[in-house]
Amino acid sequence: MGNYSHLFSTFQLGSLRLPNRSVLSPMTRTSAEPSGLANERMARYYARFAKGGFGLIITEGLYPDAISSQSYKNQPGLANEAQAESWIPVIRAVQGAGGKIVAQLMHAGALVQHDGFTPIAPSAVKPLGTMLEDHGGSGEFAVPRAMSIEEIRSVIESFAQAAFRAKKVGFDGVEVHAANGYLLDQFITDYTNLRTDEYGGSTERRVRIIVEVLRAIRAAVGPDFMVGVRISQGKVNDFHHKWAGGEMDARIIFEHLATAAPDYIHKAFAPAFAEGGPTLAKLAKQYSGLPVIANGKLGQPDKAESLLENDHADLVAIGTSALVNPDWVNKVRVGRALLPFDHHFLLPIATLKEEEVGV
Ligand SMILES: Cc1cc2nc3c(=O)[nH]c(=O)nc-3n(C[C@H](O)[C@H](O)[C@H](O)COP(=O)(O)O)c2cc1C
């Protein structure tokens, strides 16, 4: 057993004093009510991670508006007061167990897997790949409709309003999901953003909407509420995508994000462009000067500890390993063996399992 002095050191992240460096990674579990309300099973599920030692918990992606942002059936939302208030028992359960909880705000863009509306996106480009079976989809995605400038403005406003609702009901912060192929990442990505206006073209213009979302949220929630942003190159429907401009794109993206002064950047921990080269987490730290949460296959504590020790990131987000070890932090602290994660755990779809919510 290692000593893990970095993993178990405290950290000030924005307005939050965290007891250790482990964060629960956001994971969509499509277990809300059909109307997008959080429920009691979800309160029990999220509380387990706080009881298990996670100082910070990031929720699954919540859709910010009722018009076009929902990706999955039974995904929870923050699109109205009732949805926001349905999180109060979850927030109380987590905070009552000593944890902090941040709401992840996620707009689907083109990656919509339920009937109900024509998806919107930067451009009318059909997404690569097929719908996610883990989240109940099958077959190809629909071709989205290109957003008008008015729609872009109203989506920015809907992020700000959802963040305001999150603050009002007692969340400890919000994280803007600009990763993994969803709407905001579709703007960054060259092949899904063919716009010729101020939101398309150069990398600076493709990242602009995210900067505007962060600024609108800050204006709505004030200076003391934590606001983070998640960025990635890979996507749920295109795992191996890399930014065409390489490290120069990384520099432009992270420097621009920093101008909106988010409290942190949440990034995948993998070599950014070449095997053995700097990680994107490290580049995010270098070019933004902001605290960085690294994520991706960090369930082995030795790996997480060495990444913190080598200053690649300030915090580590644990995803799948935490699903089978909700007490990951407490186990690592006392040197207890961790259960291995197996994808079968999420079959047939990634909804909450009985053992995750108790009886
Ligand atoms: C079932 C499942 C759902 C996920 N949903 C989200 C999500 O809503 N938002 C997000 O940013 N990432 C999501 N992810 C990605 C995870 O946060 C994490 O980045 C990924 O699992 C890799 O980390 P790991 O190796 O520790 O599991 C999801 C992953 C899984 C397995």
Domain boundaries of the chain, sorted by first residue: 11-356
Q: Is the CB of 132 under 6 A from ligand 1?
A: no
* CB 296 less than 6 A from any atom of ligand 1: yes
Gap between the Cα atoms of 258 and 306, Å rounded: 26
Catalytic residue among 4, 45, 182, 264: 182
Question: What tokens were used for 345?
Answer: 């755990």
Query: Would you state the structure tokens that stand for residue 315, as one six-digit string?
Result: 């915090």
Q: Is the CB of 22 under 6 A from ligand 1?
A: no
Cβ(127) to ligand 1 under 6 A? no
Q: Kindly state the tokens that stand for 231.
A: 């960025």
| pTM of structure | 0.97
Structural tokens at position 347: 């079959």
Index of the ligand 1 atom closest to the CA of residue 61: 8
For residue 194, what are its two tokens?
A: 């063919």
Residue 318 CA: nearest ligand 1 atom is 26
Q: Could you confirm whether 182 is annotated as catalytic? A: yes
- The fold of 11-356 is TIM Barrel (3.20.20)
- Cα–ligand 1 centroid distance for 282 (angstroms): 20
* Cα–Cα distance measured from residue 5 to residue 313, given in angstroms and rounded to the nearest whole number: 15
CB-based contact 291:263 (threshold 8 Å): yes
Each of the 359 residues of the chain gets a pLDDT tens digit; together they read: 568 999 999 999 999 999 999 999 999 999 999 999 999 999 999 999 999 999 999 999 999 999 999 999 999 999 999 999 999 999 999 999 999 999 999 999 999 998 878 999 999 999 999 999 999 999 999 999 999 999 999 999 999 999 999 999 999 999 999 999 999 999 999 999 999 999 999 999 999 999 999 999 999 999 999 999 999 999 999 999 999 999 999 999 999 999 999 999 999 767 678 777 888 888 999 999 999 999 999 999 999 999 999 999 999 999 999 999 999 999 999 999 999 999 999 999 999 999 999 75
Which of 238, 259, 244, 226 has the alpha carbon at shortest distance from 179? 238
